[in-house]
Amino acid sequence: MNSELKTRLQRHTSEFLEKARKLRLGLQLTTVIAPVVVGFSKALPQGVPGSAWAAVLVTLQIVFLVLGALAGALVLMTDKSALAVMADAQSAVEAAEVNKNALAVSQREIQQLEAELTKASVLSLTIDSMRVAVDVALLPSAKAPIEDQIRDMLDLLAASKATLFGMGDELWNFSVYLWREERQQLECVACRRPTRSDEDAPHRTWRRGEGHIGQAFQMRRALICADSTDLNVRGFFDAPEHKRTAYDDTLRYRSLAAIPFSLPGQDVPLGVVVATSDIAGRFKPEEGGDHEAVRPIRALGKTLATLLAVSTLRRDMERDNGEG
């Protein structure tokens, strides 16, 4: 509603309320004046019964009595008692509270939808960026080592961790482990953590079935946990005795997603993408599909599988050309 229309509506409303106030005041005065007029007419000389003057006085008395009665009836119908006014006020307060709560719920729903839209947009942009990275890797001039390309993709997740995963001031970790057939173990080739010293620190290697990384690799399926301190699932995440560190893994890696990735039709996964947080519930298993925080990790795994396939194909071509 524009300001001019709003001003006109307010003016007409004020005029209507002023007219209604004057009309009500007139009715109230009529209920008081009518009995007074009748009383005065009774005090006047009545003249000879049956005369014209007597008939006029009687007629006036009847008219004013009728006017007083009508005015009183109208005032009674339009006026409200104090109790009625209080009841209406209470109803208005309750209605306002209901509307306030409904508005608050609507605002929360709008904020949630906006957050989901932002998250979906960032995820789409991140996946598009991964595809671009693969396209760049396909160029004949691309000479960057595969580990550097993997780190670049991992940086895309770390840069958007607040939007994609809701991560804030916490211990988080994104890592990529590749399977080394000759050594029969999973080795960390890329890692992103809150501090550079943590990233550069030595990383443990994992054999099949060791810890959550080895378990995911061995089972060839995603291993997702909302709380690794839960005794019902803790056995999946305990590291072997000789690979345990000074801190408790289940406290530092309390919520996690370990997702193996491979090319279609491959029996053995190429590696495992890992995301962890010390906040319980950051990653959750979900029936019928992936939890929203797991989708970016799975998307990265699929992209890495393609990237590794391209790298392997290029290496084989270069070897064949060298032999030729």
DSSP per residue over 56-82, as a string?
Answer: HHHHHHHHHHHHHHHHHHHHHHH---H
Q: Residue 227: which of 249, 258, 250, 211 has the closest Cα?
A: 250
Q: Residue 308: which of 270, 269, 274, 273 has the closest Cα?
A: 270
Start-to-end C-alpha separation, the chain: 79
Would you say 298 and 123 are in contact if contact means Cβ atoms under 8 Å apart?
no
The residue ranges of the chain whose pLDDT is under 70 are 1-3, 5-6, 9, 16-17, 20-21, 24-58, 60-61, 64-89, 119, 137-138, 140-142, 236-237, 239, 245-250, 288-289, 316-324
> What is the reported pLDDT for 231?
78
Residues 6+ apart with CB under 8 A from 156: 126, 129, 130
Q: Residue 156: which of 134, 114, 189, 123 has the closest Cα?
A: 123
Q: What does pTM read for this prediction?
A: 0.64
Query: How confident is the model over 61-77, as pLDDT tens digits?
Result: 677 666 666 666 666 56
Angle between helices 52-78 and 3-43 (to 10 degrees): 140
Sheet with 223-225: strands ordered across = 185-192, 172-180, 271-277, 255-261, 223-225
